[in-house]
């Protein structure tokens, strides 16, 4: 290096790579990159030589071959002749359904518990405190197992519903049966069904699509009506009576569509040794759903409580001074501000629910981990590929959830100027 011997003030010396802040960060990054690449290469090299030693290769071709196992809960067509890739999708959908259901109920439970914990009613706030502390400080896995045990050990067997002097009876006018094999509910049926549409890998019932579209249209119509009423009020000072119109807009189209499609309920009946007909929820699903809901609900309750406490008392006092009633104070002043505090931790709770669905292994619910990361992995012996796909799938779900919720978070964020 000729440059190092050069001692004139402006020129470059090797020691400047370390002592000059202009270059130091580049040096550190290059060293860091070198170490990182070396470590990575070491891992890859080890993996390749280990695979070679066991006579394996990295090949995702197994996804196309016949799965050969049954899945007891499926939202799309699947049989043991389907491919491993298909089993992967069935598992993914089971995971998503569980996560979605648990997110909804956990939010409801959490908001109610969080608000009630702040209530000035002594007994209610104490009960909620006990609920929150009890569920937060015991592992979720234990709650899943306990709730599953309650469902299988305490509920009656289907044959307890039989005969003249049955020891158990169905709930809600003979429509719901809770047994140790699962819960049987009335199932929706359409006698004049519109059929299914095949969307590539999944098929969707047109009936539900039509219903969804009609409900979305009703909501749009309702908002237009409210908007119109507000405009009239602005112009004339008198708000037109809208309640019967809004009721009609929301209820009527859906009702008409249901009647046209011949909507009716199919009730479960005891036939032979078990119930048949209606919808059937497995105990494994219910246990996961309940456990994740009450467990995460306790965390959400704390987030909601913290969010409400974070709003200073002056805000509600100012709202009262403006003459707003308590309901409006809550809706227009407190909640919009509290939501800003609540939503970021809420997002991470939703992510936690999604990740905790993988604990379904404890109760045998056929989720993503049980299909792709369980039976497929064991049958094909392709640990590396299966775990890679499994992690990638979870990662993508997590990124989508956090991305979507961040968009929402940005829309309610305080616009600082």
Site residues for another protein per CB under 8 A: 18, 25, 28-29, 32-33, 36, 43, 46-47, 49-51, 53, 116, 119-124, 127, 133-134, 136-142, 145-146, 149, 153, 351, 355-356, 358-359, 361-362, 369, 373, 383-384, 387, 390-391, 394-395, 398-399
Rg (CA), the chain: 29
Contact 94, 368 (CB under 8 A): yes
Q: State in angstroms the smallest separation of the CB of 339 from another protein.
A: 19
Q: Return the closest-CA partner of residue 282 out of 359, 180, 371, 353.
A: 180
Question: Is the CB of 112 or the CB of 229 nearer to another protein?
Answer: 112
Residue number with CB closer to another protein (153 or 164): 153
Check residue 359 and report its DSSP letter. Answer: G
- Is residue 227 classed as helix, strand or coil in its secondary structure? helix
Residue 217 or 381: which CB sits closer to another protein? 381
Q: In 3-state terms, what secondary structure has residue 183?
A: strand
Nearest to 28 by CA among 20, 38, 36, 18: 18
DSSP assignment string, 233-255 = HHHHS-PPP-HHHHHHHHHHHHH
Burial class (CB in 10 A: 0-12, 13-18, 19+), 40: exposed
The answer to whether the CB of 168 falls within 8 A of the CB of 156 is yes
Is residue 296 within 8 A of residue 353, CB to CB? The reply is yes
Residues making up the chain, counted from first to last: 417
In the complex, what is the shortest distance from the CB of residue 102 to another protein, in angstroms, rounded to a whole number?
Answer: 14
Unique residue bearing structure tokens 């049954």:
70
Smallest gap, in angstroms, from Cβ of residue 237 to another protein? 34
Q: How far is the CB of 122 from another protein (least distance, A)?
A: 4
CB of 217 to another protein, least distance (A): 36
Looking at residue 201, the DSSP 8-state letter turns out to be T
In the complex with another protein, the residue whose CB is nearer, 46 or 80, is 46
Nearer to another protein, 282 or 369 (CB): 369
Comparing CB distances to another protein, the nearer of 124 and 265 is: 124
Give 27 or 169: the residue with its C-beta nearer to another protein. 27
CB of 132 to another protein, least distance (A): 11
In the chain, what is the straight-line distance between the N-terminal and C-terminal CA atoms, in Å? 53
| Shortest spacing between CB 184 and another protein, in angstroms | 24
Q: Residues near 38 by Cβ (< 8 Å), separated by ≥ 6?
A: none
Q: Which is nearer to another protein, 76 or 108 (CB)?
A: 108
- Which is nearer to another protein, 93 or 261 (by Cβ)? 93
Helix (H) or strand (E) holding 182: strand 182-185
Give min distance, CB of 378 to another protein, in A. Answer: 10
Minimum CB separation of residue 41 from another protein in Å reads 12
Closest CA to 77 of 90, 64, 66: 90
């Amino acid at each position: 290096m000729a440059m190092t011997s050069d001692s004139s003030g402006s020129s470059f010396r090797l020691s400047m790579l370390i002592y000059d802040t202009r270059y130091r960060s580049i040096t550190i990054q290059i060293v860091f990159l070198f170490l990182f690449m070396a470590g990575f290469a070491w891992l890859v090299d080890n993996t390749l030589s280990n695979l070679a030693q066991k006579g394996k290769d990295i090949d995702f071709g197994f996804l196309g071959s016949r799965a050969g196992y049954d899945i007891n809960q499926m939202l799309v067509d699947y049989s043991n002749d389907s491919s491993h890739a298909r089993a992967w999708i069935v598992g993914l959908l089971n995971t998503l359904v569980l996560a979605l259901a648990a997110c909804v109920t956990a939010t409801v439970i959490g908001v109610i518990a969080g608000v009630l914990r702040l209530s000035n009613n002594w007994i209610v706030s104490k009960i909620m405190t006990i609920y929150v502390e009890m569920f937060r400080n015991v592992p979720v896995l234990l709650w899943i197992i306990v709730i599953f045990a309650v469902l299988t050990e305490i509920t009656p067997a289907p044959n307890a519903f039989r005969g003249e002097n049955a020891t158990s009876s169905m709930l809600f006018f003979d429509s719901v049966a809770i047994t140790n094999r699962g819960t049987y509910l009335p199932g929706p049926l359409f006698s004049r069904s519109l059929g299914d549409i095949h969307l590539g890998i999944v098929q969707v019932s047109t009936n539900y699509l039509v219903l969804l579209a009609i409900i979305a249209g009703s909501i749009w119509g309702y908002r237009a009506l409210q908007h119109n009423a507000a405009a009239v009020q602005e112009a004339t000072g008198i708000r037109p009576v809208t309640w019967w119109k809004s009721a009609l807009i929301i209820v009527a189209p859906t009702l008409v569509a249901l009647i046209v499609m011949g909507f009716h309920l199919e009730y479960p009946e005891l036939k032979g040794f078990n119930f048949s007909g209606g919808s059937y929820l497995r105990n494994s699903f219910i246990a996961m759903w309940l456990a994740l809901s009450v467990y995460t609900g306790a965390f959400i309750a704390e987030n909601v409580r913290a969010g409400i406490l974070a709003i200073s008392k002056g805000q509600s006092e100012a709202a009262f001074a403006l003459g707003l009633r308590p309901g409006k104070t809550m809706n227009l002043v407190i909640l919009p501000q509290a939501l800003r505090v609540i939503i970021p931790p809420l997002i991470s709770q939703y992510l936690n629910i999604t990740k905790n669905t993988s604990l379904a292994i404890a109760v045998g619910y056929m989720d993503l981990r049980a299909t792709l990361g369980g039976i497929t992995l064991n049958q094909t012996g392709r640990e590396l590929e299966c775990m890679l796909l499994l992690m990638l799938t979870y990662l993508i779900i997590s990124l989508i959830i956090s991305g979507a919720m961040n968009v929402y978070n940005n829309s309610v964020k305080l616009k600082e100027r």
